[in-house]
Structure 1
Amino acid sequence: MGRPYTEEERAELKIKIKEAAAKMFMQLGFKDFRIQLLTKQVGISLGGFYSFYKDKEALYEEILRDEKNRIRKKILTIIEEENQTPKEFFTDLAHVLLNKTVTNKFYTNEYSSLLETLVWNDDSITAEDNLHFIQQIRQIWANKGIVISASNEELAAAVATLAILCTHKEKIGVGFDSWYPVIEKALLEQL
């Protein structure tokens, strides 16, 4: 049995575990992620891992929450500091979503994806959280004198629709590339 970690060591190790795991989830996806590979990379035992997390699902969920919060702070900062119109911002967001679903397995995982955590409205708590975030965005624009005609619910639904399209583009097939811009434009015109 290994020695117990000090509080400082625990804090440092937890950061190291999450950073290494986030990279592995991004590259491998949830299904192919192995705790044994993580512990080897971080330099801790399996027991050491389990002193931090119940299982890989708990680790993954914590990383998703952290990443969601980081992304939302970044979005609020961008909206606050740049003079993008809502249409410009949501167009950029749609393109980022499209790019991330191609390059990062964290955004399109079979277990639970970052994209789902950010935009899905499939339960009341997530929907309320998403609407609160939309309200924060709306308030920044209102402070700049920009009024958005769409409701918070309509904005959340538009973003979720774009995300659904991006995450299922392989299932949509060849027509995706020609139809996605048309659908994106139609949704954004509602702002």
Structure 2
Amino acid sequence: MAKNFSEEDIKQLKNNLRKACEYSWRTNGYKMTSIASLTKEVGISTGSFYRLYETKEELFFEVFTMIENRLKEEWNKIIESNQGIDGFKEALKWLFREYTKYPRMYDFNNPDYILFLNKLSKENIKYLKENNENFFSDALDNSGLSLKISKEKAYRVFSTLLFTATMEKDFGYDKYEVFEFLLDNSINKIFNIN
């Protein structure tokens, strides 16, 4: 693949680039993450980057998928250790805290993220959308809960609740407490609770 790089070098460089990219997203957001800053961080030239990846978006897609998979793994660990409504709530609260810690990385409505999406292929956009919806569907199935409302409506309700994590304006009240209040007051309308 890349001249002068062994297969092991390629694996290591890609891994280092993914880590640097994720860190940059957390601190700077998508738009401010540049090839120049990533290659400087990893210690390679821009030319070397383009021997590893055809485009910046290829790396970004890889990193985004990696982050999604890590979130799913953690979610599933929480659900496995505490099934039912309590486990689902605990997992959702964990996800909210994760989104709150890194709002630049998880605000999927900001112009930076939309710019990133617009540069992806239709296949990659479709994959991300389906992967997100499948995750929610799998999360419901793994929790053992049954819905009172349609799966689509439940997905939108939980997405809306999680969106509040990315709001950067002064909330004027404890954001976690507001989220928990909304979650606690909507959960009985979403799930059949025995």
Q: TM-score range by the shorter chain?
A: 0.7 to 0.9
Give the distance between the partners of 1:127 and 1:44, measured in 2 at CA.
Answer: 33
Give the distance between the partners of 2:171 and 2:73, measured in 1 at CA.
Answer: 34
Q: Displacement, 1:71?
A: 1.2
Q: 1:141 and 1:184, CA in 2 relative to 1: closer, same or farther beyond 3 A?
A: closer
Asked whether the 8 Å contact 1:76–1:137 carries over to 2, the reply is yes
Q: Where in structure 2 are the equivalents of 1:34-183 lying within 5 Å? A: 34-80=34-80, 82-86=81-85, 88-104=86-102, 105-108=104-107, 110=110, 111-112=112-113, 128-142=130-144, 147-168=146-167, 170=169, 173-174=171-172, 177=175, 180-183=179-182
Secondary structure of 1:32's aligned partner: coil
Secondary structure of 1:23's aligned partner: helix
Identity of aligned residues (%): 23
Give the distance between the partners of 1:179 and 1:83, measured in 2 at CA.
Answer: 23
Q: 1:32 and 1:108, CA in 2 relative to 1: closer, same or farther beyond 3 A?
A: same
Q: Deviations over 1:82-137 (max 9, x none)?
A: 12432x23433443344334321322263228xx9xxxxxx876554344333433
Q: 1:187 and 1:95, CA in 2 relative to 1: closer, same or farther beyond 3 A?
A: same
Q: Which amino acid aligns with 2:162?
A: A
Q: 1:176 and 1:157, CA in 2 relative to 1: closer, same or farther beyond 3 A?
A: farther
Q: 1:125 and 1:186, CA in 2 relative to 1: closer, same or farther beyond 3 A?
A: farther
Structure 1 residue runs without a partner (length 5+)? 117-122
| RMSD of aligned alpha carbons | 3.1
Give the distance between the partners of 1:100 and 1:140, measured in 2 at CA.
Answer: 21
Give the distance between the partners of 1:49 and 1:13, measured in 2 at CA.
Answer: 9
Q: 1:127 and 1:27, CA in 2 relative to 1: closer, same or farther beyond 3 A?
A: closer
Q: TM-score, normalised to structure 1's length?
A: 0.73
The count of corresponding residues between Structure 1 and Structure 2 is 176
Q: Displacement, 1:34?
A: 2.6
Q: Which amino acid aligns with 1:129?
A: N
Give the distance between the partners of 1:21 and 1:126, measured in 2 at CA.
Answer: 18
Give the distance between the partners of 2:129 and 2:87, measured in 1 at CA.
Answer: 21
Asked whether the 8 Å contact 2:161–2:183 carries over to 1, the reply is yes
